[in-house]
Structure 1
Amino acid sequence: MARKSRRNLVEEQVIFSLREYRFGSYARLSVRSNKIKNDDSISHQLQRNREFISRNLSGSILTGEYCDNGVSGTTFNRPGFSELLKDIKSGKINAVIVKDFSRFGRNYLEALELLDVVFPELDVRFISIDDGYDSADPQCSKERMVYVIKHLANEYYARISSKKLTQAHELARGNGEFWGARPPYGFERSKANSKILVIDPEAASVVVRIFNMFVLEGYSYYKIAQILNRENIPSPKSYHLIKHGKAEKVEKNPEKYLWLGNFISSITQF
């Protein structure tokens, strides 16, 4: 695909800045409660969205607010979200704003289909405030894979919480805290707060490459694993051991820690 010139990127930004957007503000909370006083409460999410539009999007208007209280992000079959989609398809709404990607949804494949296929086809702008993502910004398209990685973690949280976490842990997850035994590949624990995950640049670059090979180049899981092994790139298992000072364990039995097709599948098909 031909690379856009700086002039074309500037022209795109001008076009988007001149267009009038009718925003639909969306908020979601997994645990039903109107008394949760934190950054992820429904009222706080909607307030953040209102303030962002007012301060940063002159010429745009907030047309409607939609919310799902006590509804899991693993499904898009939600009353509030369904109403938002209905208004998008009718032309009432042509832009969507959320506090962060996890409020939008934790089902990675469905979320990306909406962001990459459905919304572009309907000419809908999408903004995720805390992630610094705006589909109207050409730079965001170039950095799309960073957001793909974040979606992987979002769905990982949802999957493990449904099986292993207590209600207290579910509330903590609502605050953006991670209670799993090991962060998903591509993330690491924050040094400031071990319950918060941040992107691990080294592992994340491998995830980006895996997605490029799988989605853009059409390689099979087996082929991708072969390439990574040939280049001596540590698998998730060996990477974890090496990072925690146990490289000798990998060196004693390297074949035990090779990339396998199922590792690639788990990364691309959460």
Structure 2
Amino acid sequence: MMETIYTAGLYCRLSKEDKIYGESMSIDTQRKKLADYATTNNITVCDVYIDDGLSGVTFSRPSFERMMADVDCGKLNCVIVKDLSRLGRDDSKANYYYEDVFIRDDIRFIAIDDNVDTLRGYENIVPFMNMFNAMYPRDISKKTRSAFRTKAQHGEFLGSKAPFGYYKDPNDKHKLIVDEEAATVVREIFELAIQGHGYNKIARILRDRKILNPSAYTNQTMPCHYKSEYWRDSPHDWHVTSLKVILENEVYLGHMVQSKRRKVSHKSDKIVKNPKEQWIKVENTHEPIISQEVWDLAHKVLSARKRDNNAGTSQMFAGLLKCADCGNAITYTCKKNYGSFSCSLYRVKGKDYCTIHYISYNDLYNIVFSEIQRHIKTLKKSETKLYNAALSFNKSKKNRETKAFMEQLSKYNKRISDLDVIIKRLYEDSVLSNISSDRFYALSKDYEAEQLQLKSQVDDINAKLAEYDKAESDARSFVELIRKYIDIKELNAKILNELIDKIVIGNKYIDENGEKVQDITIYYKFCGNIEY
């Protein structure tokens, strides 16, 4: 009988995890071991197939697939690996290749360290060995997730590349440093949002100004980061998704927010979003690019969900207008290039629920602009007068609400003291056996729960009272805001949202003189409604 001549492919694999945990020898050592075995056993080596840095969980590996293609076309009739785990760590697929490919098609398969050779036929131990090999990546996956979670909880950056506006510290890849060139673009994006521009309008502005999008900028600073060349065709095209990522990323406040996504399992590359409560947020881990004030203002404007009108301009009052009667939003409509506002509840449900509260866009603009100009004139004439007017509202509000809070505080504190006495007496009755232990625990549990709730309410009231003590600083902040816009020539969304908390629109009515009037009340930041 003629002896079979074996032409072998030597397959070497080493995953990133193997390198980290030292579970397998290097590629070079594997190759030498396989070559020595082939020489000793008179097996001809056709080619060496190497997958370096690739997990055994997947069998979609370039060199493995090339080797199996050579098996299929008859170029190889033998495959040699160091051990079964080098073939792969998915037991179902490893068993498939062992049983349904190598044994069925009479391809000699040798795993040197596991003493497996199909020349001896099927070996029952192999499926069990494959099962144990499959447990290894599960364990490594758990260890890796745990290590990453610990790093994330300590505020260490774990991404493959820094967010747009930052770069990784050359001395510590887990720290972020502001990239001033890109950070300037980030600041401008937030500024454009504050001015009332929507995502599409911001994208057009950046594109028209030939500003590199994040992908193009990253490739300019890190040429090897992206393998794809698609970004070269449109380096200045900005997409809504990119802008949303920037405008919603708290990394620009100096906070690290991670664990937003996760792999379904160690066997799958599918990524799913984690619920927000599972995110890991660590504050003040690096230098911020924008302030909390800018963040809040941008998101206030964006949350109004404004839409461009027929003229293609943004509606600057979006999110600021409230109905004086029902409290719902006053919303904008534009017909034949004529803009106006009316109560959203009235528009949806009709006059049985609220009245129209109609006001034209031009009338509202003129009223608000003239009111702001009035405060500017006051500031120019007498800063003290403007300061006292702002302070007066805060103090009157404080006087009104403080009295009610103090009455509540006295009531709650008295009840807390009474409960202390009651609980003490219950304890004494329990010690003296006047009541059973079960009765004591039942009653004391209820009283202690009530006391805990009251203490929480006391803390809330004290916190609100502490806020009222900021009256003077708030009045100064309002004066500085007016000073900031002392030379304004027209209104825009940024100015409105920086100066104003809300504008309450009343319904038109006939006064005692028979004239039609409408109450418009402006509540400013820091000081509310100002009257001189």
TM, length-normalised to structure 2: 0.26
Task: Name the structure, 1 or 2, with higher relative contact order (CA <8 Å, separation 6+).
Answer: 1
Structure-1-length-normalised TM-score: 0.50
